[in-house]
Amino acid sequence: MMVKRQSDRSVYSVSEQDQQMIQGCVAGDRLAQKKLYDRYKDAMYTLCFRITNDPEAAQDALQESFIGIFRGIHLFRAESTLGAWIKSIVVRTTYRHVRRQIQHEPLEQVSREESADWGHELDAGYLAEAIQSLPTGYRMVFVLIEVEGYSHKEVATMLGVSTGTTKSQLFHAKRQLQFKLKALGVYP
């Protein structure tokens, strides 16, 4: 909940319980760190997995993210919610992790006619599988914009690319999903 305005930045209220947990993490209190980790690990793992499409890479990125969170928690200034602050660190860390692990496939090499044949009618599981089968760059931008709700500008800033690049990646991701869904006979 927003409580006041300072210059152009909003300041969010932090519950006393969260404030104590944050102070404990700043002080290096392992119980406070475990409490913070336990509160956010599941949602952040899901985000890591959606970006990496690999359970082991997602777990590695999650652990790397929380190391960064604990090292930098003293920098939390309540200009967003604690969860949003953590999520932004997780997204940036996971993106760096993916960039270190694999090279991005150039647009010219991505087949526009790729199809998926699951042999069943479309349901949420098949759609999730189609999203996970996208090339890494497309998948990351698609997940961050369409699933997580970030704007093109926010994603461009997080990934260190232009908004034109995020728009292009999203366009091509949607096109590939259309081809995959057409192959299933569920998209006109």
Q: Kindly list the domain boundaries of the chain, sorted by start residue.
A: 2-101, 112-183
What pLDDT does 108 receive?
Answer: 40
* Cβ atoms 144, 150 nearer than 8 A: yes
The mean pLDDT of 168-187, rounded to a whole number, is: 82
Q: What is the pLDDT of residue 185?
A: 67
The H or E element that residue 32 is part of is: helix 30-52
Select from 140, 139, 167 the least CA-distant residue to 153: 167
Q: Give the CATH class of 112-183.
A: mainly alpha
Burial of 66: CB neighbours in 10 Å, binned 0-12, 13-18, 19+? buried
Give this prediction's pTM.
Answer: 0.66
What's the maximum distance between 2 C-alpha atoms anywhere in the chain?
57
**pLDDT value of position 148:** 84
Fold of 2-101: Rna Polymerase Sigma Factor; Chain: A (1.10.1740)
Taking only the tens place, the pLDDT of each residue in 112-164 is: 344 444 444 556 677 778 888 888 888 889 988 888 888 999 888 888 889 99
